[in-house]
Structure 1
Amino acid sequence: MSDKLKILIPTDFSVQADYAFLMVKNLERKANLEVTFLHVLNVPDTVSIDVNGMIETCGEIDNEYVISQKNIAEQKLNSIKMIHGNHIHTALVYGKTTHEIIDYAEQNQFDLIVMGTKGLSGLRERIAGSEAQIIARKSSVPLLTLMCDRSDLEIQHLLLVHNFNDTHKQDLSLMKKFSVIFGAKLHLLQITNKPIDSVRGEIEANMEKFARINEVEDYEMHIVKDSDIEAGVIHFNQMSNMDIVCIGTHGKGGFFHTSAAEKLVNHMYKPIITFHLN
C-alpha cells in the first residue's frame, strides 16, 4: 500500500482554510503528501471560459467584474505558493462551489479533501446545510473537516463509528493508510439504545466479522448506550480521547433525512473523516 496521500484543500482565503492547511502540515511530518489548494470562483452557469482562457458572459453579470475577481483570486493563490513553497499546487475553477469542489476532487483522483468549517445549527442547518455537509453527502472522495487549529494533533487513535450489523466490505483504504503512516490504532464503536449487556455478544461478533472481511487487524471494540449516534460519539470522546473520528454516510442527508455524519461535521470540534458506505 502506497503511503502517499493526494490532498485537496478548498480555499476561500479565510481562517478556516488556514486551519485546514495547518492540519495538513501536521500530517506532512510523517506522510508523503501532494497538496493542492483549490479556489472556486462562484459564478452563474451563464459565465464560460473559452479555449484561450477568455471569460464570456451573456450579459447577466459584468464581464469586467468576473475578470477582476479572477485576477484577485490568482494573486491570492500565488501568495499561497510564495508562503508555503512551490511544491504546493494551486487551481482556480468557475461555477457553483460545492459542485466544483466535488468534481475536481473526483476527476483528479484525490485521496482526501480537507476543509475548515464554521459549523451550523438549528433551522439554517436543516434548510441550507454547510458546504462541508453537502460535500460529505455527495463526494465519493473522503472528507476531513475541522473547526479549529489542530496543528499539534498527534494521531494515535482513529475511531470508526459504524452500525456493525452491516458487515459488508467497505473502502477503508484511507483509514488503513493513516494507521500505517502514523502507527495509529483503530477503535470500532457502535452506539445502541439497548442495555449493553443484552447486545454485547452479538455486536462484538459482528465487529469481529467486519474486521475479518475488511482485513483490519489492530483494533479495539467499544459499545456505548446513548440516545443517538451524535450524543454517543461525543460522550465516548469525553471518556476516551480519540484523535480523529471516522464515520460513513449513505449520502442521504437533507431536509427530510437526518444524517449522523453530517450532524457531527457541523457540531463536533474533533477532526472528522466522512466517507461513503458501500
Structure 2
Amino acid sequence: MKPVKILIPSDFSIQSEYAYILVKKLEEKLPVEIHFIHILNTPESVSIDENGKITTCGDIAPTFVQKQYDLAVQKFEELKKRLEGNIHTHIRSGKITEGIISFAEKNGFDLIAMGTKGVEGLRDKIGGTETQLVVRKSKVPVLSLSCDRSQLEIKNILFVHDFLAEEDFDISLMKRIREAFQCKIHLLHILTSRSKTHESQELKKKMESFAKENQLENYSINVLKDTDVEHGVFHFDQMHSMDIICLGTHGKGSLFYSSVAEKLINHMYKPFITFRLYEK
C-alpha cells in the first residue's frame, strides 16, 4: 500500500511535536512517510538549495544566514535523537506560509500536519496563526491540532458539509483513515437561520446519495439546527464527542472574513482535517 506522505512544518516548538505524535497515531494503522520542514524567515533575496548552499544578494550577509541554517541543522539532529522511527528533514528559506505550501504541493505530499497555539480577539481578524493561513491557502489537506493527542482513539470521524452545495473536493484521505481504523463517519449538515425552509425535505436523500457515491461504510446521517455552523459543530461534538473533525474550506480569508474552518481550528481543542472546496 502506498504510504501517506506527510509534511510537518517545525519551528522547534512543542506544537510541531504534537503534530508528530498524532501522525504516529495514524502510523499504527496506515503506512506513512514523515518529513519535517523548517523555513528560515528571510527575504526573497536569500535562497537555499537542497544541499544547503546559501545564495544571497542585497544587504544580508551569507554568514548571518549560515548561522541560522546551522542552528536549524543542530535542532533537527536533536529532534531525530528524541523521536522514534525514520524521518526526513528539510530546511528552506523565504516566507513561512508560502514556503510550506509550495514545498508540499511541489513534492506531492498527501497531508500537512501542524500544531496550533490558537488565537483570540483582534489578531484572529487581522492575521491569525500560521496554521490558519496554511489552511486558507493550501491545496494539500491540512491536519491541525492544539494539544497532545497521544491517548487519542480514532473511533468517530465527524464530516461537516453543506450537502446541498454543488462543489468538488477530495475526501480520499478521510476514507483511508476510516478504512484503516474501522471507525464510524458521522455526516453532519447544519441548518441555520439562513437555510431555506424547503432544504430539510431533500437533505437526507442528498446525504444518502453522497454516502453511496463515495462508497462509505459504517456512517450516520445527522441534521442539526443551530445559530451558525460553528456553534452547530461545537454543540454536536458536545453531544457525541468526535475524535477527528473533517470539513472543507473555500480558501477565503481577510480582515472582514474568516472561514468556518479557520474559526473552529483556533477555538476548538480537536484534531481537524481541512481540505479545499471548489465550486462546480
Distance 1:202 1:52, change over 3 A: closer
Give matches, 1:1-278, under 5 Å: 2=1, 4-49=3-48, 53-85=52-84, 87-166=86-165, 168-193=167-192, 199-278=199-278
Distance in 1, matches of 2:243 and 2:214, equals: 22
Contact 1:3–1:31 under 8 Å retained in 2: no
C-alpha distance in 1 between matches for 2:233 and 2:41: 35
Q: Cα deviations across residues 98-119 of structure 1 (Å, max 9, x unaligned)?
A: 1010011111111111111001
- Return the offset for 1:244: 0.3
Mapped to 2, the partners of 1:32 and 1:11 lie a distance apart of: 22
Structure 1 length as normaliser, TM-score? 0.93
Task: Say if 1:53 and 1:145 are closer, same or farther in 2 by CA, change over 3 A.
Answer: closer
Inter-partner Cα distance in structure 2 for 1:149 and 1:46: 37
Please identify runs of 4+ aligned residues in structure 1 that moved more than 4 A: 50-53, 194-199
TM-score for the superposition, normalised by structure 2: 0.92
1:13 partner letter: F
Aligned residues: 277
Percent of pairs with identical residues: 50
3-state secondary structure, aligned to 1:222: strand
CA displacement at 1:219 relative to structure 2: 1.3
Q: CA deviation at 1:86?
A: 6.2
The RMSD of aligned alpha carbons is 2.1
CA distance in 1, matches of 2:197, 2:241: 23
Q: Report the CA distance shift for 1:30/1:217 in structure 2 as closer, same or farther (over 3 A).
A: closer
How far apart, CA to CA, are the structure 2 residues paired with 1:58 and 1:198? 62
Cα distance in structure 2, aligned partners of 1:222 and 1:51: 48
How many angstroms does 1:147 deviate by? 0.6
C-alpha distance in 1, partners of 2:199/2:56? Answer: 61
1:199-254 Cα offsets, whole Å, 9 max, x none, are 54321111112223333233101111111111110111000011000010111122
| Closer/same/farther in 2, CA of residues 198 and 166 from structure 1, 3 Å limit | closer
CA distance in 2, matches of 1:56, 1:266: 37
Unaligned runs of 5+ in 2: none
Post-superposition offset of 1:29: 1.8
Name the CA distance, whole Å, in 2 between partners of 1:199 and 1:247: 20
Amino acid at match of 1:72: L
